[in-house]
Amino acid sequence: MTLNHTDNWCKFIIIAAMFEKIKQSTFDKLWIGMLLGLLIPFTTFVLFWLLKYYYISFPFRFIWFLKLGGMWDGVVKLCVLTNLLPFYLSLNKHKNRLAAGILASTMLFVFYIIYLMYFGENE
């Protein structure tokens, strides 16, 4: 069975269409946005620990240290603030479902911050 030029062009067109489909469906999903909105603040928290307080054991003693110094809610706010960059980028790329997922997970953090500010333990 021999392949002629028409068969090769058909294969090329099919592969190009598959790549175009993959390119169009790039991550504009609500659940990916929520996952991103949760992972970015946690990653920022770990980076904050690595860059500033690496000598304190992670995570329990570090969190205890932050709560004892009254810095816990401030650090959480700082970490959640990093969600602004992917939110802005997803809006610029017209990935509205991704932006909605990032916003939804950010709102979960906002409710936690409100809880910390008004109902959290003052140690």
Distance CA 40, CA 45 (A): 9
Angle between helices 96-119 and 30-52 (to 10 degrees): 50
| Rg of the chain in Å (alpha carbons) | 22
Tens digit of each residue's pLDDT (9 = 90 or more) over 48-102: 999 999 999 999 999 999 999 989 989 999 999 999 999 999 999 889 999 999 9
The amino acid at residue 110 is V
Query: Can you give the residue ranges of every domain in the chain?
Result: 27-119
Reported pTM: 0.75
Distance CA 80, CA 41 (A): 5
DSSP string covering 49-104 = HHHH-TTS-TTHHHHHHHHHTT-HHHHHHHHHHTTHHHHHHHHHTT-HHHHHHHHH
Specify the pLDDT at position 1.
47
